[in-house]
Amino acid sequence: MSKNAKVSVIIAIFNEEKNIEACLNSILDQSYQNMEVIVADDGSTDQSLSKIKSFEVKSSKLPHQGAAKTRNYGATKASGEILVFVDGDMTFTKDFIKELIQPILDGKYKGTFSKEEYISNWDNIWSRCWNFNQNWSKQKMMPDDFPDEGLDFRAIIKTEFVRVNGFDDVGYTDTWTLFKKLGYKPHSVSGAKYFHANPDNLIEVFIQAKWASKRDYKLGLIGVSIALLRTSLPVSLLIGLLKTLKYQEPRFWVFKIVYDLGSFIGLIEKLLTGKTSK
């Protein structure tokens, strides 16, 4: 692979009208120049697509089908040797792409990710509560002890992605299906710093929790049953109280009830329908 290999940045979006312009501005301002940007709209019902029109990117509006299929569609339109997958509510430092792909260009790895993923809306109380609930590090999207091999590929050689037919459509954990099929995980890089927004209101917290709860569980029905118990009201109230005291944040209790209610309803829907969410 040449030291100036073409990169295809694929952004699958759904109702990102408030974030997509900032995302595109930062990705188009990268120090690495040999790249194209592909925006695949997963059936947005807001003004996302109209916000994209003023940018020099490839864009397509698709029927709502879920993130995995939308990302896979974006990959079919890519002409680059390296694929980079990001979200529409992310923003990036100027050297993000350069640092992310350098180990691939050097032949060290076939895929990479970055642990330098920071919260862009840390000043929002519900965003902070989201981190408290996930046990993530302060202002970061993952714990401090996260391993150097990850679960989500941010960058991958296109031929490797095509070899395993991309992501499987399994809902919330669809990005994890890639390493399972490839038989190896992405490696962490240094210097690829970027920012990602947590849900910033209780409606978004509920919707995100409901969607995430419909993922596949390791123990199948037993795993779902354990998750139902963990998100039941008595357990939710107890854990909410303990973390409220730990973080000295009274509003976390409200957050926890809303989050677990969304998760509980999502789990019930999963049991009734046997389907993951899109």
| Structure-token pair, residue 243 | 């973390």
The structure tokens listed for 131 are: 């981190």
**Tens digits of per-residue pLDDT, 35-79?**
999 999 999 999 999 999 999 999 999 999 999 999 999 999 999
Q: What CATH number labels 7-196?
A: 3.90.550.10
What is the pTM assigned to this prediction? 0.90
Reported as a single tens digit per residue, the pLDDT across 197-219 is 999 999 999 999 999 998 888 88
Percent of the chain clearing pLDDT 70 (strictly above): 99
Measured CA to CA, the distance from residue 158 to residue 164 in angstroms comes to 10
Question: What SS3 class is residue 16?
Answer: coil
Cα distance between residue 21 and residue 64, in whole Å:
21
Residues 118 and 121: their CA atoms lie apart, in Å, by 9
**Lookup result for tokens 């789990």:** 267
172 pLDDT band, cuts 50/70/90, is confident
Asked whether residue 277 carries a pLDDT value surpassing 80, the answer given is no
Query: pLDDT per residue over 124-169, tens digit each?
Result: 999 999 999 998 988 999 888 999 999 999 999 999 999 999 999 9
Q: Which of 11, 186, 179 is nearest to 84 (CA)?
A: 11
- The pLDDT-based confidence of 275 (bands split at 50, 70, 90) is low
Interatomic CA distance for residues 38 and 267, integer angstroms: 33
- Token reading at 99: 């640092």
Q: Record the tokens describing residue 53, joined without a space.
A: 């029109």
Would you say 179 and 185 are in contact if contact means Cβ atoms under 8 Å apart? yes
The pLDDT value recorded for residue 138 is: 87
Q: Is the sign of the CA dihedral 208, 188, 149, 5 positive or negative?
A: positive
Contact in structure between 188 and 148 (CB atoms under 8 Å): yes
- Residue where the block lists tokens 């807001």: 46
